[in-house]
Structure 1
């Protein structure tokens, strides 16, 4: 049985078309996934460094919260310009530049001795990394049509929870085993050792990635024609394609606000999960690292399953909103049973599953509305607005922790944000973001 795909006189069966997209996924996603794992790890490993860094340097919880969050000031300021530059110079060069510079700056965090130095390096890390995530999302739109992006986006973004699955034990192991090694503290070794893979992967990206379908020597002429035809068909009917459309259209602003509420949960979990587990009664850094893998492993499964379901049913809104509500329930659960490690961890696992799923499912929405240069600016703009939560959430939780010696009230605020984000999803007309099967 032939599908509707026909390009340059070439028709393809559904099985053949599926095989071509599987080939593209296996070529691109494992590498991009690995890059994202270390990108996210270099951003949030400060959560593990905090376990001894604060005592060594005399930092308060408020100093840590602000330092963790100031990363996003640089990130937000340079995100849209970064994606515009990528349009000019190409994905492989720009992704290489981003990864090499952020790896070097992340390693330099080992030399911090004062709060000011901490703030400056975290700001510069945000500047260096700005554009990586929206650049990859934009890059995926060069290869996959909207109907296939639920699964593809979910697979790529499992890099976030997998950075926890891999990074939790790795960071815990480094923190536990590098005490007293050489003249460096364990948290200094953490920043150094986890930055090296990022720089290496950045160099590899330049030689491994192709800017466009036409540049891919690993695809046949027939495969290129089919992929390009599907992208051309997908772009039809999308009226937002100019550079300014991605910055000024009210629908883009609405999407950005929805993302802001969801990412409040993301950064609360990312920066505070080790501390929340520690507050429940676990002291050993290695054990904390092992326990943090449970929520992230469960979230990885939830993201992929929800992405497949969303593509299969051609439905986006309910898949996104219900994940947000589940995340809120999990956070409230973890607060109510904060003194019981096992029960609190169950709540944190549900929260992490819901929160991580909202992040990957959200990114199926902008490409259904935007195309061309509008996609470059719109994706970057939405991510920039959402990234403000990276400054708000850690700082708020830090001040709440300092003032009350508990993060519970702060987590309840985050839960409310997830509910608001879920409700706002339904202000987007279903016909714009869903596809009938």
Structure 2
């Protein structure tokens, strides 16, 4: 029996959250109750075009029919066994995800942060067992401006003081270098280096796209230095940039790829570490685990996500509509937009600070029926579902132009 919907208004529900929810988010004042495709509806019935897509967790839109069907079918059969037993959905999920990403093995987890933590553990284990780094001396090179999650290990090598301040002491073993600076990476790598961990495109920093040759350079440098290239594709992967993985723009195959967000289809948290057999093969029973990682429901949804990507349709849509997005933003430069960076259906848009903060611009767009989210200063992010239509995308750009003009 379905529980009755809460009949309170948006304002009443927002006020009700204040005393009982931890204040670790500052949401826009919209209370979503329904969604379909690229559209959401609030409790009063107002509709909004979702141009954030759950920070890329909703690459296939809200409630994609194939994903909902896969989840419903599995709910009627089996949801959880833990990894104490095998389940009949996990083998296919791992096989197809490995094939999609061009890797050998899959370590299933739940959240993106878990995938990052798992990737760090695997890289260190590989460094000790394969590379021969002395015990407890392994280092990992990371980039300034990174966003890899919110765990204490990860925020310890963040350069965002809001994320970092007040949560120490931090895990040692990380070296921070400027992003998009190959010389800095080379200077930081030595005989203790287990891996270079980077985002092919930095999402939280404002969709920072590195210069041509950077990713290929990191790949070649790590190969020469005898360390791993770990690519965090949790936001950039699974179709967002017009490719299955963002590293494909430079023909790069990392040793390890971290996936999450869209892998769960916006239904359940699903993440994975995918990599070569040489790297993931260092794990043995008891050394790492997750009660929910690889659960049957997650594997069923994840397999359906992989099936959508195997056709290439969503990658092509992101690439084609990415041209519309780029051209539309180019027309707004000098009309309130001072600059932007984009790749596929993903853009970081820098608004003239005189027109307002990113938060203020996001609130104005909300009143126009467009949902986006700010990041730093006067920068907003655009990341619509890959199911968005060209007309919907142009309408969102028109709303942005109107907001900036007013």
TM-score range, shorter chain: under 0.3
Higher normalized contact order (CA 8 Å, seq sep 6+, divided by chain length): 1
Give TM-score, length-normalised by structure 2: 0.27
Larger fraction in helix: 1
